[in-house]
Structure 1
Amino acid sequence: MGPRIGFSLMMGCRILGHRFDFTSEGETMSWRCRRGCGAGGSKRYPTVEHARRYAGAFDRDDRRDLGRRAPLVGLFPLRLLYAVRDRRRRP
């Protein structure tokens, strides 16, 4: 990977945020950025079940619910839009 490609991947993750994939192997949970910027890590848990449970809990894509759980500052207008739309749908 050339220096320009690595730089653009890191800028993409810096601007948009990392997209981590979580996996478990034995008592170790690992994560890597699926955009290929090189970010990642691992953590060891006391049991295999703990590592599997945490990897499963973290390895999900929450973008479908982004407007419903939007942060108050940056995406507040989106949160308001969803609240108004949901209120109109109620009988």
Structure 2
Amino acid sequence: MLGHRYRFRAVDRELRWHCERGCGAGGSKSYDTAERAERYAAALDREDRAALGERAPLIGLLPLRLWRSISRKRQASSSPTPRS
């Protein structure tokens, strides 16, 4: 129901991932350098819960996107404008 929650890590030149929920899903991929594998692991292994709704899929989280958009517009219109 909730889908996979992959975690990524680099081991030498290999990028490895597994599902944090313990379902057994996972895999690996080899890169030409350990630095490249580490860079991909760092980029992919992050939680974006704070940004939920900002880059949400259009269909599934459309109400959340609309609510955030309206909230931003209200905040912008209620903030005082600086005078020169």
- The alignment-based identity, stated in percent, is 53
- Correspondence for 1:89: 75
Does residue 51 of structure 1 match 2:37?
A: yes
TM-score normalized by the length of structure 2: 0.87
- Gapped runs of 5+ residues in structure 2? 80-84
Runs of at least 4 residues off by over 4 Å = none
What is the CA–CA distance in structure 1 between the aligned matches of 2:36 and 2:3, rounded to whole Å?
A: 26
Q: Deviations over 1:30-84 (max 9, x none)?
A: 0010110000000000101100000000000012211111111111111000000
The one of 62, 65, 71 aligned to 1:76: 62
| TM-score calculated relative to the size of structure 1 | 0.81
> Which is helix-richer, 1 or 2?
1
1:26 aligns with 2:29: no
For 1:16, what is the secondary structure of its paired residue? coil
Aligned residues: CA RMSD? 0.8
Tell me the number of residue pairs that the alignment of Structure 1 and Structure 2 aligns: 77
